[in-house]
């Protein structure tokens, strides 16, 4: 049953990742990967909310592992950072790493704090 919940969550998260990434990136005329940053920070916030709410295992599988796992993308983050380095966009590559880590951890902490206090 857990595998089915993960599958269903990912079936919603992965297409949403693609749509949000393309939507956000199309509005920025820069090499910086704003779309990937957006989905990763949003997913970190949702995962932080789930952790703060101490949801049951089924909800954690559906939304945490499935949806957030499908929504966020570490592999694309890594690929885009390497691509920036290869294209000698060193400032953007470093900024991508720093902003992604700080914003992701901050979003998760914010989500956790908001729901842990309820």
pLDDT digits (tens, 9 = 90+) for 27-81: 999 999 999 999 999 999 999 999 999 999 999 999 999 999 999 999 999 999 9
Q: Which of 26, 52, 25, 27 is nearest to 36 (CA)?
A: 25
The answer to whether residues 103 and 37 touch, using CB atoms and an 8 Å cutoff, is yes
2 marked as binding residue? no
- Return the pLDDT at 40: 98
Tell me how far apart the terminal alpha carbons of the chain are, to the nearest angstrom. 29
Residue 88 has phi, psi (to 5 degrees) of 60, 30
Structural domain count, the chain: 1
- The one-character DSSP state at 60 is I
CA 28 to chain centre: 19
Q: In the predicted model, is pLDDT for residue 115 greater than 90?
A: no
Q: For 1-23, how does the pLDDT look when each residue is reduced to its tens digit (9 = 90+)?
A: 999 999 999 999 999 999 999 99
Q: What's the rounded Cα separation, in Å, for the pair 2 and 24?
A: 32
69 marked as binding residue? yes
Q: Print the domain residue range for 64.
A: 2-116
Q: In the predicted model, is pLDDT for residue 118 greater than 90?
A: no
């Amino acid at each position: 049953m857990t595998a089915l919940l993960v599958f269903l969550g990912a079936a919603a998260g992965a297409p949403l990742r693609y749509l949000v990434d393309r939507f956000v990136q199309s509005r920025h005329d820069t090499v910086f990967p704003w779309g990937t940053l957006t989905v990763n920070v949003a997913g970190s916030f949702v995962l932080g909310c789930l952790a703060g709410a101490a949801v049951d295992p089924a909800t954690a599988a559906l939304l945490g592992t499935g949806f957030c796992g499908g929504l966020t993308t570490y592999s694309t983050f890594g690929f885009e950072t390497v691509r920036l380095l290869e294209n000698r966009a060193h400032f953007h590559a470093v900024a991508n790493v720093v902003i992604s880590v700080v914003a992701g951890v901050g979003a998760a902490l914010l989500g956790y704090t908001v729901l842990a206090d309820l």
